[in-house]
Amino acid sequence: MIKGFKIGHYTDQKALTGCTVILCPEGAVCGVDVRGGAPGTRETDLLSPTCMVEKVHALVLSGGSAFGLAAADGVMRYLEEKGIGFDTRYARVPIVPAAILFDLNVGDPKVRPGPQEGYEACRNASSDEKTGSVGAGTGATVGKILGPASMMKAGLGAHKMVLAGQVEVEALVAVNAFGDVIDRDGSILAGAYDTKTGFLNTTSFIMGHPVPPASQMENTTLGVVMTNVKLNKSQATKVAQMAQDGLARAISPVHTQYDGDTVFVLSLGEKEMDISILGSAAALAVEEAIRNAVRSAEDLGGIRCWAELKKGD
């Protein structure tokens, strides 16, 4: 984990939902890029380079659809108790952007992360990395084109890179995509799967078939890229834009009307690097984190996972 960041999770494996919190108590410069057609976000307007506040104190990735945005309230309470926030002279106001994914189609749709779950995720925060079916990735699935019967389990994935021996770039991605997850060689790692015929190939299928009702397609992939390179908000936003290329290389199709794909970038450190190089590294880190999310997923709720298929090979 990059120095200055801590990550905590709240996981409900029975209801198949959860939330993930990235804490940066010192305050980190943050940028964001939203590409999907169905985003659910909080405080992302504040991240515009034209807005006043320069730093955030935490990010929240949550399941529970729009209900899950309430998890950020608990994170704000936790930070306020620690005296962390933007000083308004009258109170310190924690700056906590958030984004959600849709996991109400698995587990118990009446159970969603809220303030208490966000608070618990903060209490669980550490520098230890946990991935797979945890936090915001607990109810994450991919390959929705034929509905729940053919979708596969995904989760929360991470990948870290070190450039020039000192520049650190780490991606954390909750993968809950409408499309398939694609390996480096172009093969499908996880997606719409039929026990008799294998993977469908969602992109090829939709080229010649009408798309099923949107009720089968609520999704969204959420990513956070952390770095020890010193960035301003404009630079962080540019890196977030470039990091979205990782989604495009590892998910097909991506950025659809049924996805709310969102990538944040957090900068905390004093290292220097060309923004184009950093953005390229961020895209690579996101790309591999997506694949790792599939490889580390568990078959919760009876939903098949990559490891299950691998055993059958």
pLDDT value of residue 129: 82
User: pLDDT (tens digit, 0 to 9) for every residue of the chain, 313 residues total?
Assistant: 899 999 999 999 999 999 999 999 999 999 999 998 899 999 999 999 999 999 999 999 999 999 999 999 999 999 999 999 999 999 999 999 999 999 999 999 999 999 999 999 999 999 888 999 999 999 999 999 888 889 999 999 999 999 999 999 999 999 999 999 999 999 999 999 988 889 999 999 888 877 665 445 679 999 999 999 999 999 999 999 999 999 999 999 999 988 999 999 999 999 999 999 999 999 999 999 999 999 999 989 899 999 988 776 5
Domains along the chain with CATH numbers: 6-312 (3.60.70.12)
The CA–CA distances, whole Å, from 68 to 40, 118, 189, 244, 274 equal 9, 9, 28, 23, 36
H/E run at residue 206:
helix 202-208
pLDDT value of residue 217: 62
pLDDT value of residue 292: 98
Residue 2 zone, left/alpha/beta (φ > 0; ψ -120 to 50; rest): beta
Q: Token pair 């587990």 is at which residue?
A: 107
Enter the DSSP assignment of 210.
Answer: P
pLDDT value of residue 201: 93
Reference 173, options 165, 181, 164; nearest CA is 181
Distance CA 208, CA 211 (A): 9
| Model confidence, pTM | 0.95
pLDDT value of residue 241: 98
Reference 28, options 207, 224, 289; nearest CA is 224
